[in-house]
Structure 1
Amino acid sequence: MIDGSAREFINKLYYEDHYVVYKDNKYFLNGCQTKHLENGTDSVRLEVYNLTKNLTVFSITKSTANDCVEAFQDAPIWSGKTFWEIENQMQWVDE
Structure 2
Amino acid sequence: MNLDGLEEQIASHGNLNRFDKEAVGTVSALIRRVREAQLAISVDGIVVSNDRGTPIENPACRVERGASAELRGWVKDRPDLFGEQRSVVQQADKFGGFKAVK
For the criterion TM > 0.5, the same-fold answer is: no
TM-score by length of 1: 0.29
Higher percent of residues as strand: 1
Higher relative contact order (CA 8 A, sep 6+): 1
Higher gyration radius (CA): 2
TM-score by length of 2: 0.28
